[in-house]
Copies of this chain bind each other. A is one copy, B any other.
């Protein structure tokens, strides 16, 4: 009995939840009995992975070189039920006004109409206006004028 053949049998056992298997043919006889390990073994293991997450994933924290998650990136604030987060659809530079001396499009506390420009993301010398998708009130502005923003960064 080759290890390969045996393994094929073992995979079958595992797949079909067999606990015992006995084969007798020309080549000889095989008997296999499995213990109760399988709850833990195969592919998608929700319980194990979840418990794993409690242990911090490997290179999250380190002496120096490897950065912690989210470091340097804008963190999304906790949202209340009636609040909506506006994120950047592209990498670029965030501007609150259409020109250096112009007034900002919006301030915190302002009410906005649907479609009203909120800010500009400059990407590759193109000025892209970010518009309000819904009417509402600006609760907080999370970026500073002239700040680089990445894809998906909360604005």
Q: Give Cα A14–Cα B15 distance, bound, in whole angstroms.
A: 11
B23 in contact with A25 (CB, 8 Å): no
Q: Is residue A114 contacting chain B, with contact meaning CB distance below 8 A?
A: no
Point out the residues of chain B lying under 8 angstroms from A52, CB to CB: 55
Contacting pair A17 B37 (CB below 8 A)? yes
CB-CB under 8 A for A36 and B35, given A23-B1, A51-B55: yes
A16 engages B34 (CB within 8 Å): yes
Give the A interface residue count (CB, 8 A): 42
SS of A interface (majority): mixed
Residue of B nearest to A37 (CB): B17
Report Cα–Cα, A19/B13, bound state, in Å.
13
Q: Are A17 and B30 in contact (CB under 8 A)?
A: no
Question: Which residues of A106-138 have CB atoms within 8 Å of chain B's CB atoms?
Answer: none
- Verify if A22 is at the interface (C-beta below 8 Å from B): yes
Closest 9 CB pairs of A and B: A17-B37, A25-B28, A20-B33, A22-B31, A19-B35, A24-B29, A10-B16, A24-B28, A3-B8
